[in-house]
Amino acid sequence: MDVEVEQLGEILVIAINRPAQRNAVTREVSVAIAEALDRLDKDSDLRVGILTGRGGYFCAGMDLKAFVSGQRPELENRGFGGLTERSPNKPLIAAVEGFALAGGFELALACDLIVAATGATFGLPEVKRGLVAGSGGLVRLPQRIPRAIALQYSLTGEPMDAATARQWGLVNEICANGEALDCAISLAQRIAVNAPLAVRMSKHIIDESSEWSRVEVWDKQRPLVDSIISSTDAAEGSRAFTEKRSPVWCNK
């Protein structure tokens, strides 16, 4: 299978499995990722998703052989990899080993958090091929790191190593080579123990608030926050704290 999907308790691991092609994305891969992300959002037992690649690679971008044959990996209303134009409602972590280049880097940028092995390499080399990073790379990269640094890497097409990505705040955690998935699972578990409604709403507010004006921010945020404060899980969280026990979330 070109994409392997595995449920580990409350975590859904989505792995591109084309190591001989450095996990380059075909249309079939995009469809499979989109279906897995739909499962992540619809299944109330799932709390966090992880996107990774098998064989020591994250993703080297679009499968150029498939592209030359006329196949396009972008899905309508979903974008490249079934992800870049529509992110899931629940947190998604990129676990990066080896190359995350071109569309592969754009997939990582479309995730909420990035965990990288020390040997990971990120880059948008499209300008070297007469192209532009049109699947969100040029939009998301300057949102994640300083604009001048994003411009440098976008205009030169040069690669960025994991240590540099961590320095600029692009990568959340760095681990030893071969351990990116385990590290991402550990991070996902630390998220999954929290109230699912509160986690999803926190992600939603962070995502949406970048488009709110200073005048409207409180009016837009207030009803969202109130919906969580009035939830059953908010009451359970307070009771569990006073009773010195772990909360039992009901996702309501």
**Active site (catalytic) residues:** 106, 126
Secondary structure (3-state) at 172: coil
Dihedral pair phi/psi, residue 86, rounded to 5°:
-150, 105
Q: Residue 14 is encoded by which pair of tokens?
A: 């989505």
Number of H helices, E strands in the chain: 10, 11
Those residues whose C-beta lies under 8 Å from the C-beta of residue 16, and which sit 6 or more positions away, are 2, 3, 23, 25, 29, 33, 51, 52, 53, 54, 58, 59
Distance of CA 224 to the CA centre of its chain: 23
Give the chain's largest Cα–Cα span. Answer: 63
How many Å from the N-terminal Cα to the C-terminal Cα in the chain?
36
Residue 12 sits at φ, ψ, to 5 deg, of -110, 120
Say which amino acid occupies 187. L
Q: What is the residue type of 123?
A: G
Residue 45 CA to residue 66 CA, distance in Å, equals 36
The values of phi and psi at residue 128, to 5°, are -70, -15
126: its two tokens: 């499209």
